[in-house]
Amino acid sequence: MISPEEGDNRPILLGFRLIMRSDNGMAKHPPQEQHAALLTTSGSRSLIHWGILKDIRRNPWLYIMLTPVLLYFTIFHYYPMYGALIAFKDFSPRLGIMGSPWVGWEHFESFFEGIYFWRVIKNTLLISFYELLFGFPAPLILALLLNEVRKTVFKRTVQTFTYMPHFISLVVVCGMIKEFTMSDGIINDLLALLGWERVSLLLESQYFRTIFVSSGIWQNIGWGTIIYLAALAGIDQEQYEAAKMDGASRWKQMLHVTLPGIMPTIIILFILEMGRVMNVGGEKIILLYNPSTYETADVISSYVYRVGLQEFDYSFSSAVGLFNSAINFMLVICSNWLSRKMNNTGLW
């Protein structure tokens, strides 16, 4: 029985229920009844299509707004996947993708056996680990602190100053980092006051990861708090009142009310972050690194850029990029599966 609240969705619901009933019952009936069930299924699918068309007519502007998004992902994300074929070919621009000869796994084997394989893997994983360890909790901690602030003017001021770096162009940010870390830059001025020797920090490989991670936190900490603050606003205030009545301090309220209330949001953001473990900010690294810091700064993204666009080895760089994407995909799947097993929260 379809409830009155289901309203205009009756054709879709009716079709779906008919499909489920017919699919579940076909194995239990003779061929004549199975044929009738197939006819019913066909009709119900027509009802579903009719319901979708009716929904498009009822909400045309929603679908018009959705169209650019679909076009964007189709043109710039799905269609270029066709080009991944060159990872298995000896690609020549003159011959084209389909005309270039197949070489199978040759480029993957060259990468795995190459002298830079372990270096770029180690640097990618280490920088990603540092970003997860220090960069991921930073917006959460700031959001929790802002949530405890009762002075609205102070809270808005802090939010404004922490949001601003996110809107600065990455090229400008990297230029600022280079200026600040020069031997006569402001950071060296501060270190000199503490008795440290002046040194151009970006020319020293041991400082690159620290500079990269800390500057990333500075640039994105405010922007990352937006989602957490929205999640905090959705927590029922009655839970805090009940905690106060039980004698819970502000610290206990945060541990037992606030954090559990936004835990699904934290988990989803962590899963998304795991999908970017192998995609450490290649653009930023390319703008900051130099041959003297390759030992600690060269990651998969920068290696692909250097081999593909500077050495024009398109097939090899495509193979490395495809390997990188496959690892990211597996990390997302595993993270989501683990999250589902532990607390029944995930992306799907």
Top-confidence residue, 280 or 219: 219
Where residue 44 falls among pLDDT bands split at 50, 70, 90? low
pLDDT for residue 15: 41
Q: By the 8 A CB rule, do 345 and 260 touch?
A: no
| Rounded distance between C-alpha atoms, residue 4 and residue 26, angstroms | 30
Q: By the 8 A CB rule, do 39 and 7 touch?
A: no
Q: What is the average pLDDT score of the chain? A: 83
The first and second tokens of residue 290, run together, are 């130099």
Where residue 10 falls among pLDDT bands split at 50, 70, 90? very low
% pLDDT > 70, the chain = 86
C-alpha distances in angstroms, 201 versus 86, 129, 171, 212, 271?
39, 22, 18, 11, 33
Q: By the 8 A CB rule, do 323 and 124 touch?
A: no
pLDDT in tens, 173-215: 999 999 999 988 899 888 888 888 888 888 888 999 999 999 9
Where residue 23 falls among pLDDT bands split at 50, 70, 90? very low
pLDDT for residue 177: 93
Task: Give the HSE-up count for residue 176: Cα atoms under 13 Å, Cβ half-sphere.
Answer: 12
| Rounded distance between C-alpha atoms, residue 217 and residue 138, angstroms | 7
| Whether residue 74 has pLDDT greater than 80 | yes
pLDDT in tens, 157-178: 999 999 999 999 999 999 999 9
Look up residue 5 and give its amino acid.
E
| Whether residue 55 has pLDDT greater than 80 | yes
pLDDT in tens, 253-291: 998 999 999 998 998 899 888 888 888 878 899 999 988
Top-confidence residue, 31 or 200: 200
